[in-house]
Amino acid sequence: MVAEPSDWVDQLARAVIGAAIEVHKVLGAGFLESVYEEALCIELALRGVAFERQKPIALTYKGQPVGEARLDLLVGGELILELKAVERIHPIHKAQVINYLRATGCQLGLLLNFNVEQMREGIDRIILTQ
């Protein structure tokens, strides 16, 4: 069963997509992921969108801690952003976002690949299924 994200999370996603399109419009393709992360953080801050950068999340296995992962960005405490600057998105990239959703309990993640001609081609919306 797929539960649609709340209106609030959808609003966050729209704000992030607008910011990502602006970053891509200004910078274009071809830079490292870290450049896009920095630029997106600047754009989100300019737009007044709350976010946490390189947010650590605890990972457990059968209730026992096994380490931690870092989210590229957590927007509004509810939207996970995974940024890429790759030739193409592979299934492992989507699996990474799904695992982050499971680990955090968030409903929605955006996988943003900035190495595309048009930013709209580089946006994958990933919903956690129950």
Tens-place pLDDT, residues 74-110 = 999 999 999 999 999 999 999 999 999 999 999 999 9
Residue 73 lies in a domain: yes
Closest CA to 74 of 66, 65, 63, 83: 83
* Residue 42, domain CATH: 3.40.1350
pLDDT value of residue 82: 98
Q: Tell me how crowded residue 37 is: count the other CB atoms within 10 A of its CB.
A: 20
Report the pLDDT value the prediction gives residue 66, as an integer from 0 to 100. Answer: 97
Q: Is residue 84 part of a domain?
A: yes
- At 4 the three-state DSSP class reads coil
Mean residue pLDDT of the chain comes to: 95
Residue 46 lies in a domain: yes
Split at pLDDT 50, 70, 90, the class of 4 is: confident
pTM of the prediction? 0.94
How much is the pLDDT for 1? 56
Number of domains, the chain: 1
Q: Is residue 1 part of a domain?
A: no
DSSP assignment letter at 129: B
